[in-house]
Amino acid sequence: MIQRLLITGHINAGKSLLVEQLTELLPDWQMMHTDDTIPLDLSWAERLVLVKEWLTKPAPWVITGVMIPAAVNLYFKDNPEPPADRLIFLKQPLAALTSRQQTYNKTIDTMYQKIRCRVPVPTYSLAYCTVCQELIDAKSCEPSHPLRVLYTNS
C-alpha cells in the first residue's frame, strides 16, 4: 500500500493535474505543495529545511513540487531510509518552455540524479483501486478490481 507519495519533475509537466485527481480520490490525505513555502519570508535554504520536515509527517500524504529532489537529498544526509513509498518524476512538458524554464529543469535533473536510486518509483504504473480504495502499483491488485490508472512509467 502506498501512503506517502512524492510528485516532482520538470516545470509544466502535469504535477498539478495529477494532484487534482489524487485530491478527489483521497480527500482525507494531507496534500502539500513546495510552492506553498514561497509566500513565507524564508530563504531557499530555509524553505528546503521546511520541506525536509514535511517528509517526516505521519502518513497518508502527497507532497508535490520542484523542490522535492533537493529536499530528499537533504533528508538522506541524516536518514538512510527513503522518506516516501513512491516518487513520481514527470518529464513530458504540457506546453512549450521558456529557455529559463529549460535551464531550471536541468538543475532539477541534476538533483534528481543524486536521489533516484534511493527512492522507490512505481512498478509499471500507479493506480487507485476502486474496490480496495487504496493507492497501489497497478499490477499488485486483484485482476477483478477496477483500477483507475493515474500514472504510467515511460
What is the contact surface with Zn ion in residues (CB under 5 A)? 129, 131-132, 141, 145
Closest separation in Å from C-beta 140 to Zn ion: 9
Shorter beta-carbon distance to Zn ion: residue 6 or 141: 141
Shorter beta-carbon distance to Zn ion: residue 119 or 129: 129
Burial call 10-46: b when 16+ CB within 10 Å, e when fewer: bbbbbbeebbeebeeebeebebbbbeebeeeeeeeee
Shorter beta-carbon distance to Zn ion: residue 17 or 146: 146
Closest separation in Å from C-beta 95 to Zn ion: 35
In contact, 52 and 74? CB cutoff 8 Å: yes
Shorter beta-carbon distance to Zn ion: residue 25 or 97: 25
CA distances from 13 to 10, 18, 97, 100 (A): 6, 10, 10, 15
Closest separation in Å from C-beta 36 to Zn ion: 32
Closest separation in Å from C-beta 20 to Zn ion: 22
